[in-house]
Homo-oligomer: A and B are copies of this chain.
Amino acid sequence: MIKVGIIGSTGYAGAELVRLIVGHPQAEIVWYGSHSYKGESYADIYQNMFEIVDAKCMGEDMDRLADAVDVIFTATPQGLCSSLVDEDVLNKVKVIDLSADFRIKDVETYEKWYGIEHKSPQFIDEAVYGLCEINREDIKGARLIANPGCYTTCSILSIYPLLKEGLIDPLSIIVDAKSGTSGAGRGSKVANLFCEVNENIKAYGVTTHRHTPEIEEQLSYAAGKSVILNFTPHLVPMQRGILVTAYANLLKEISYKEVKAAYDKYYKNEKFIRVLNEDVNPETRWVEGSNYVDINFKIDERTNRIVMMGALDNLVKGAAGQAVQNMNLVFGLDEDMGLEQVPMFP
């Protein structure tokens, strides 16, 4: 059994890690770290875990933790993981960081968009961007994995094949994204109260959202040239789910079949990526609770653009599920182990 420690186990992403790993046949959680609830019973905070998890929340001492476990998940605010890891920790355990600390290769870009100083830039090069379907082989040997952001995973996977195949103009991309509210975290802010979120939709972080450079960097690798794009997130009155609607100019006249073939080339054998049938649009409800990403596209001959769409569960494939998928890869387990949840509807 892989021994697991979670720093930040009482946030929504951390709690989803708990849900998934509790059902994982080859891993067990031995350390429920929590800054806010140290000393309290985990099941008192998340009553769904009553009679399932019998443990108290512990602190976030990474050195002690590194001796106790095989893998540490950090589901924490930006800057914490990079302030905790060091060579000693990385020699002892694998670290899978769900924050953005090691996602962006250019430290200046990181510091500019996040507005904080990076505390351990020496590990940025080594860190592997944990988008499993794209970087599978690199992940297997990594000590430190930068687990991708929720918006990022959905945006990249929706667009990747078309850039890779050179079918769309890399400077024409617009990503209009919509997210459920669990992505906003469990902090007690007025803006996230039920009465503020419910019966409302709004854009936020317009032109300035932090996932923008992460999407651009990864898509630039795919395109082989610089991608600069618009990314606009919106807050939707629902718990889980991200829907990406992305637009780009087609570089040539192209048929449905040809585009479909491009998607299939990269995703046909990917269990967790489902390219839907023609004219079936992705919807967040069809992936809820699961590690699937549903993807499809529509060519608009009138405007010579293509509309690319993707849907995933932000807490699963957009956070904890992908983190477990990364863990499986790192430890040589079946990639889908503990991730076979069928999407729950309604």
Binding site for B on A (CB under 8 A): 12, 15, 19, 22-23, 44, 46-52, 171, 174, 176, 178, 180-182, 186, 188-190, 192-204, 206-207, 228-230, 232, 234, 236-241, 243, 245, 247, 274, 276-277, 280-290, 294, 298-300, 302-303, 305, 307, 309, 311, 340-346
CB atoms of B283 and A201 under 8 A apart: yes
With a CB–CB cut-off of 8 A, which chain B residues contact A236?
178, 201, 236-237
Among B51, B238, B290, contact of A200 (Cβ-Cβ < 8 Å) = B238
8 additional A-B pairs beyond A23-B340, A176-B247, beta carbons within 8 Å, are A51-B274, A176-B232, A181-B194, A203-B309, A206-B309, A228-B302, A232-B245, A236-B236
CB atoms of A307 and B230 under 8 A apart: yes
With a CB–CB cut-off of 8 A, which chain B residues contact A19?
342, 344-345
CB atoms of A234 and B245 under 8 A apart: yes
Q: How many copies does the complex hold?
A: 4
With a CB–CB cut-off of 8 A, which chain B residues contact A305?
174, 230
With a CB–CB cut-off of 8 A, which chain B residues contact A181?
193-195, 198
A282 nearest in chain B by CB position: B202
Least CB distance from A53 to B in Å reads 9
With a CB–CB cut-off of 8 A, which chain B residues contact A276?
47, 50
Among B178, B207, B346, contact of A12 (Cβ-Cβ < 8 Å) = B346
CB atoms of B280 and A47 under 8 A apart: yes
Contact status of A303 and B237, CB under 8 A, knowing A49-B342, A188-B189, A192-B194: no
A110 to B204, CA, bound (A): 36
Among B48, B188, B283, B298, contact of A285 (Cβ-Cβ < 8 Å) = B48
CB atoms of A346 and B230 under 8 A apart: no
Contact status of A182 and B289, CB under 8 A, knowing A189-B188, A237-B237, A245-B176: no
A45 nearest in chain B by CB position: B190
A197 nearest in chain B by CB position: B194
Name 15 A/B residue pairs within 8 A (Cβ), A-sorted: A23-B340, A49-B342, A50-B294, A174-B247, A186-B195, A188-B188, A193-B193, A194-B194, A194-B197, A194-B239, A199-B238, A201-B284, A206-B281, A234-B245, A341-B341
Least CB distance from A84 to B in Å reads 25
With a CB–CB cut-off of 8 A, which chain B residues contact A307?
203, 206-207, 230, 232
A272 nearest in chain B by CB position: B51
A232 to B277, CA, bound (A): 19
CB atoms of B228 and A346 under 8 A apart: no
Contact status of A281 and B203, CB under 8 A, knowing A23-B342, A49-B342, A276-B47: yes
With a CB–CB cut-off of 8 A, which chain B residues contact A176?
176, 232, 245, 247
A345 nearest in chain B by CB position: B48
CB atoms of B186 and A286 under 8 A apart: no
